[in-house]
Amino acid sequence: MKKMTFAVPLLAACFGHAAQATALPDNEELAALVRADQGDRTAEVDWKAVNQRDKERRDKVGAMLAAGQVRTGRDYYNAAMVFQHGEAPDDYALAFSLTTIARKLAPDHPAPKWLFAAAFDRYLLSHNMPQWYGTQSMIPHGSSTETLRPLDPNAVTDEERQALNVPRLQEKMAEIAENNAKRQAK
């Protein structure tokens, strides 16, 4: 997969503008994979089963990338979302690269902006470094209290966060507090 991490941005640099200019149709199979990915995260989650399905989805998307079936801004965003739910730094690096391409092909679409920040945060955390944007929170095993994963609050400004559709830190902390209050009320 390492080779693909570097090949995708290179290919997009060479062919990305052609994909945008010719208005290619979005890859509906890829969109269905993302719907399944998101559906796996809506209720009580059996993470062992979800992790296996995530791996299967990453394998399918990797094959689509290799076959040139990821061509539009939406396709690159969808591929990035699948790799965002990976297990390794290379998955997050690829998600970041794919999101970078999605942002280039669809600069007015807001979703790739947030995913750009989230993939970068996951990549940093996977290297035991603090996240910059504050997109990653967690509920530690055996707890019902959500916490923000380690963060460098000075790495980027709240204005930079907002430019990527990420809440200001104060807003994110209020959201986490609200989520915790709802959990305690149950």
Indicate whether 110 pLDDT > 90: no
The three-class DSSP label of residue 130 is coil
Residues 74 and 166 in one domain: no
Residues 30 and 106 in one domain: yes
Residue 84 CB neighbour total at 10 angstroms: 21
Residues 40 and 101 in one domain: yes
Residues 100 and 174 in one domain: no
Indicate whether 153 pLDDT > 70: yes
What mean pLDDT do residues 65-75 have?
96
The three-class DSSP label of residue 106 is coil
The Cα 38–Cα 54 span in angstroms is 10
Indicate whether 69 pLDDT > 70: yes
**H helix or E strand, kind and range, residue 185:** helix 169-185
Q: How many domains does one find in the chain? A: 2
List of residues 6+ apart from 28 with CB closer than 8 A: none
The Cα 130–Cα 138 span in angstroms is 14
Residues 89 and 145 in one domain: no
- Token readout for 56 is 């299967």
**H helix or E strand, kind and range, residue 57:** helix 47-66
Instruction: Give the domain range for residue 162.
Output: 137-185
Percent pLDDT > 70 in the chain is: 88
**Tens digits of per-residue pLDDT, 34-61?**
999 999 888 778 889 999 999 999 999 9
Residues 84 and 157 in one domain: no
Q: Residue 138 pairs with which residues in a beta bridge?
A: 147
The Cα 166–Cα 110 span in angstroms is 10
The three-class DSSP label of residue 89 is helix
Residues 149 and 104 in one domain: no
Flag whether 57 is in a domain. Answer: yes
Residue type, 13: A
Residues 150 and 99 in one domain: no
What mean pLDDT do residues 99-121 have?
94
The Cα 19–Cα 54 span in angstroms is 27
- Token readout for 182 is 């709802």
What pTM was computed for the model? 0.83
